[in-house]
Homo-oligomer: A and B are copies of this chain.
Amino acid sequence: MNKIITVLPGDGIGPEVIKAAQKVLDTVAEKFSHQFTYLNAKIGGVAIDEEGTPLPQETIDLCKKSDGVLLGAVGGPKWDTLPGHMRPERGLLGIRKALELYANLRPVTAHKSLLDASTLKKEVIEGVDLMIVRELTGGLYFGQPQERRQENDGESVVDTLYYKNYEIERIIRQAFELARLRRKKVTSVDKANVLESSRVWREIAIAVHADYPDVELEHMLVDNAAMQLIRDPKQFDVVVTENMFGDILSDEASMLTGSLGMLPSASINGNGPGLYEPIHGSAPDIAGKNLANPLATILSVAMLLRYSFLMQEEADAVETAVSKVLEAGYRTGDIAEKGQPVLSTEEMTEKVIEHI
């Protein structure tokens, strides 16, 4: 197949891990007789520096023309003092909205050979395999009004948690679809004892469930979910929740395995191109040093293959290669234990390629 991939290296270690990911994509193309064409575009700090905005219109246009988008990372201390609308992360929020990427998929898998990296006990995380499905284009992040007010009795400030019901329905449906391909359990997380939006969320979850009688549905309050993730993460298969709750819970969950450098993510929309990125951020302290762990980005490539190109076999090949490389004992600095030899970004990428 022919596929067009827009590549957004971004800031910090972004360019290095994106280069690694492209090598892996090239190998997949060769092995499985596909043709991948890359379009390069700017986002985040590098876009601010060169174009004066974290999300140039040209970037949006290129993304829309492509079959999938691969992002490195955005941000860094250089841009931390700029005003809010000019910050690198505005580029991220903007591209999510522009491509209507309403579903953020955050899988957390405990790799057998990395169990010791966790601050949790081995027996608690061994076998963890969950996916947080976070609503990504609604809720508190985008609701209006969002403003400061001058009232008679003093100043105040407001943000708005707003959802159209169809936005809730489509993300919950997405979660059920994903659960069908996994262990068939959906945990819908809300705060229905306090929030009206959560009560609507829960009603819609129950209604959508009627279309998926083969999948188990459970409801959990967000505070309890934050506890249960630590108490017994193995109980979860697919967790679906609103944008702000999902931001918090997915980062909490990502720390369970202890190796952020391993975790991919996908932000998708039923129709258009999806966006794939490692969750680790731009790590400015090690940028440009060939030290970054490329595996999270390589696993994001696997998600791109699986969810946007429907290339299951190819995705499996990439994921299996990563597992084999880890089992063989290869490590980048962030996941190496004392005494283990440490590979560079490029060496690690080569190892993965050898195993595809």
Contact = CB atoms under 8 A, between A and B. Distances in A.
B230 A247 contact: no
A141 B93 contact: no
B159 A84 contact: no
Contact of A120 (B84, B120, B143, B166): B120
Interface string A156-168: 1111111111100
B196 A157 contact: yes
Q: Pick the most buried of A147, A157, A162, A256: most chain B CB atoms within 10 A of its CB.
A: A157
A245 B195 CA distance: 14
A223 B251 contact: yes
Contact of A230 (B120, B158, B248): B120
A191 interface: yes
Interface in A98-132: 119-121, 124
A4 interface: no
Interface in A68-113: 84, 87, 89, 93
A252 interface: yes
A226 interface: yes
Contacts of A121: 119-121
A328 interface: no
A140 interface: yes
A249 B230 CA distance: 12
A165 B158 CA distance: 10
Nearest to A146: B196
B161 A154 contact: no
B164 A155 contact: yes
Contact of A160 (B155, B158, B229): B158
Contacts of A159: 160-161, 195-197
A194 interface: yes
A2 interface: no
A194 B141 contact: yes
Contacts of A232: 119
A141 B195 CA distance: 7
B156 A164 contact: yes
B146 A195 contact: yes
A208 to B, nearest CB: 15
B146 A158 contact: no
A251 B227 contact: yes
Contacts of A252: 226-227, 229-230, 252
Nearest to A252: B226
7 smallest beta-carbon distances between A and B, as pairs: A226-B252, A223-B251, A159-B161, A227-B255, A155-B165, A157-B200, A230-B255
